[in-house]
Chains A and B, each alone.
Chain A
Amino acid sequence: MSRNYNPSTIDVVGDLVNGLHVETGVFNTAVYWAGVANTQEELFNVYGRILLLQLYIEMVTLSGGGATLIQFNATFSAPAVTVQPISAASGSTAALLAGGRVVWIGGAIASVPVVTVLIGGGISDVIAINPQIIGSVGGVGTIGTLASVANNTSGTARGNLFYAPLSDDAYVTAVF
């Protein structure tokens, strides 16, 4: 027996279980993941303080060559804090199939994001179970990525973030 819910109801259940979901537009990884130049790209705007529950980048089309490593980080304009890591650098993202993900696993800042590279993609068996608190009361910042080591040669991807507000009026928007 399956529930005969309206899709909007199903979406709300998702928000209640997973946290509020924010997704970026599709981006060109050859542009965003220029690892040789250590390209920094902002994906999400953070207003106030949030509980960061899940964060990952999912390939829309195959990632081509280039053993680019991805690190998640946060930057704040209020109070002013230069870019700070919220994870270590991932393993190589070369040949990451459509549906494959670079998954932030939360916990200590030194934790390494998991790049799940499986035939057909679509499975992430290691995800965040230890959230982080990001931002501060009345603060403004961004969550983004730092690419390193090698340039990605082709592919497209999308960023996904799931959160819960942890101060009055806190929220997250996609940068693009």
Chain B
Amino acid sequence: MERNYNRSTMDLIGDLKCGLRVETAVVNCLTRLTAASHTPFNIYGRVKILQLFIEAITVWGNQAGTILFNYISTDPVIGVRPLSGASAAVTLLAQGLRVVYIGGVVASLPVITATAGISDVICVNPQIVGIKGGYGTIGYQNTGAAVLTGTMQATICYAPMSEGSYITANY
């Protein structure tokens, strides 16, 4: 037995269960996994981050990048703050593998489950991020080696926690 729902209804159920989902485009690691901070998401107001991960769409290069997730408040100006510790190395991350933010205390390390398509440790302890009426970005920093090949996509699922709050993708 399966529900015979319209696609839009299924997507709405996804939003209700997982949080509002925002995805970046599929981008090259060469440009978006340099050894620097990157800002895939704009955050307006205050949100609860329910899920946040980066998925390898094609296999990544043979470089030992390490990824931590972070938040930068532009208004008010606070500067970059980590949301997590740095992951294990993402060397040759295969298609379908994910670097998964697990929430909880900011020292928590993102988890990379070793099998494509399976993430057994995900965010079950959300964080509240952002400031009422404020603006900033949610992103990540590659604290290791720049990744030179492969493609990726970042996904965030959130629930608004202040009036008018929302998230958009930067690319």
The count of residues in chain A whose C-beta lies closer than 8 Å to any C-beta of chain B is 42
Most A CB contacts (10 A, CB to CB) among B16, B115, B117 go to: B117
Contact status A174-B122, CB under 8 Å: no
Chain A residues contacting B89 (CB-CB under 8 Å) are none
Measured CB to CB, the nearest residue on chain B to A75 is B117
Contact A137 B116 (CB under 8 A): no
Nearest Cβ on chain A to B141's Cβ, whole angstroms: 23
Verify B122–A131 contact, CB threshold 8 A. yes
A residues touching B (Cβ–Cβ < 8 Å)? 11, 15-16, 19-23, 49, 51, 53, 74, 76, 79, 81, 84, 86, 107-109, 129-137, 139, 141, 164-174
Q: Determine whether the beta carbon of B124 is less than 8 Å from that of A174.
A: no
Chain B 120-154 residues near chain A, CB threshold 8 A: 120-122, 124, 153
- Evaluate whether A169 and B7 lie within 8 angstroms (CB atoms) in the complex, with A133-B119, A136-B55 already known: yes
Please tell me which one of the listed residues B17, B94, B155 contacts residue A164 in the complex, with CB atoms under 8 A apart: B17
The answer on a CB contact under 8 Å between A166 and B124 is no
Q: Determine the distance from Cα of A136 to Cα of B51 in the docked complex, in whole angstroms.
A: 15
Measured between C-beta atoms, what is the minimum distance from A117 to chain B in Å?
26
Enumerate chain B interface residues (CB-CB to A < 8 A): 1-3, 5, 7, 10-11, 13-14, 16-18, 21, 23, 51, 53, 55, 57, 94-96, 98, 100, 113, 115-122, 124, 153, 155, 157
**Contact between B10 and A20 (Cβ–Cβ < 8 Å)?**
yes
Bound Cα distance A90, B58 (Å): 35
Partner of B122, one of A81, A129, A133, A172: A133
Complex partner residue of B121 from A108, A139, A171, CB under 8 angstroms: A108
B96 touches A81 (CB 8 A): yes
Q: How far is the CA of A107 from the CA of B98 in the complex (A)?
A: 16
Binding site secondary structure of chain B:
mixed
A81 to B119, CA, bound (A): 14
Q: How far is the CA of A166 from the CA of B117 in the complex (A)?
A: 12
The residue that B118 contacts in the complex, of A51, A134, A171, with Cβ under 8 A, is A134
Q: A22-B1, A137-B153 are contacts. A81–B117 as well, Cβ < 8 Å?
A: yes
Which residues on A sit within 8 Å (CB–CB) of B2?
22-23, 172-174
Which residue of chain B has its CB nearest to the CB of A109?
Answer: B120
Q: How far is the CB of B74 from chain A (nearest CB, A)?
A: 29
Counting chain A CB atoms within 10 Å of each CB, the highest count among B119, B155, B157 belongs to B119
Chain A residues with CB under 8 A of B14: 51, 164-166, 170
